[in-house]
Amino acid sequence: MDSRFYIIGIKHCGKSSVGNLLAKELNINFYDLDDIIENSVNMDVRSFYKTYGKEAFQKAETRAIKYLEGVKHGFICATGGGICDNIESFEILKKLKNSIYINTPFDTVYSRIIKNGVPAFLKSNDPKNEFLELYKSRNYKYKSMALLEVSGDNLTPQEITSKIVEQLRS
């Protein structure tokens, strides 16, 4: 079994928390795709996106995925929530078929996202409905690229990690 996995899911579903725990459990390295991007562009991902735009960000994201394709040892990589909207990265991950989708209910992730106020990426007068549309379109894409899917519904990161390990070992 290839022990190189990508954790995918909507923003605030727990990708980094679960990814870190899963890497420790499997005794392999953990990467956060945003960290790889930041190291390659020498600025934080928010500033890079804001300064250079979506297209430049997606190119940097794809370069990071291609970099990880060359890593020979096992790893867990937490991706950004928008990875499925990046056509080139989406196709690479779909072909690799080694993504783990944390499917967390809409209300749970929405409450996490707005906890400190409505984020800038939700621009409409109806942020909840805008995020719901994003959630629905991405949910379909995540499912199509996932090796396995685990529910993040009312579970701690440790419980989600245990479910993933159980599925990987079965």
Query: Degrees (nearest 5) of the Cα angle 58, 62, 66?
Result: 170
Question: Is 136 assigned a ligand-binding role in the annotation?
Answer: no
Angle between helices 127-145 and 106-113 (to 10 degrees): 120
Is 151 known as a binding-site position? no
Is 13 annotated as contributing to ligand binding? yes
Answer yes or no: is 81 a known binding residue.
yes
Q: Has 16 been labeled as part of a binding site?
A: yes
70 is in an annotated binding site: no
9 labelled ligand-binding: no
- Do the annotations mark residue 14 as ligand-binding? yes
Tell me which residue of 146, 156, 168 sits closest to 18, measured CA to CA: 156
Task: Check whether 85 is labelled as a binding-site residue.
Answer: no
Which residues are paired to 5 by β-bridges? 76
Q: Which residues are annotated as a binding site for substrate?
A: 34, 81, 138
From the annotation, which residues make up the binding site for ATP?
12-17
Which residues are documented as binding site?
12-17, 34, 81, 138
Q: Which residues are annotated as a binding site for Mg(2+)?
A: 16
